[in-house]
Amino acid sequence: MGWNEQCISALGAAGMFEDSGHMTRFKELLDCYSGYPFFTKGLCKCMYLSAWDDEHFAVMLETLNDMALGRERDTVDMRIQGDLMADINMDEHAVGEARMYQLSSAFLENKPFVPEKADENLSEHYRYLIRRALEAAKIIDGV
């Protein structure tokens, strides 16, 4: 069994996929882009996070397509774009999205994501996403 299959199997065994759509979107990203030089476990964690819904999946798919066509060798530009998006201050929804970008940047930089006191004010939806992504990250690191 290859690394991709081991990763999907480990996440599935731990109940980390919310539904079949989440698993299918993640598997599609992993199958399509794991062979590129810019692929890392950090990017895999971002793929897991973006596969939660169609909207974020579409953004990730477009980004990865652009990276593949541009023959990118790393995720530096992706991380910079995420940092820019995370710095935008808006309503509660945007603050939650900003934390998702910060989480993604931490994944891409292979750095720990440090919860902040303000995270307690995030909606339950975003707190749940952060928790689940951090759990999945541990599993991905172990594969």
Domain of 7, in residue numbers: 3-142
Following CA atoms 60, 14, 4, 69 in sequence, which dihedral angle do they give, to the nearest 10 degrees?
Answer: 0
Interval 30-45 mean pLDDT? 95
Query: Comparing C-alpha atoms, which of 127, 141, 126, 115 is closest to residue 42?
Result: 141
Q: Total domain count for the chain?
A: 1
Confidence (pTM): 0.86
CA 102 – CA 107 distance, rounded (Å):
9
pLDDT digits (tens, 9 = 90+) for 49-98: 999 999 989 989 988 988 888 876 666 666 656 655 555 544 445 778 88
Report residue 116: phi and psi, to 5°.
-115, 155
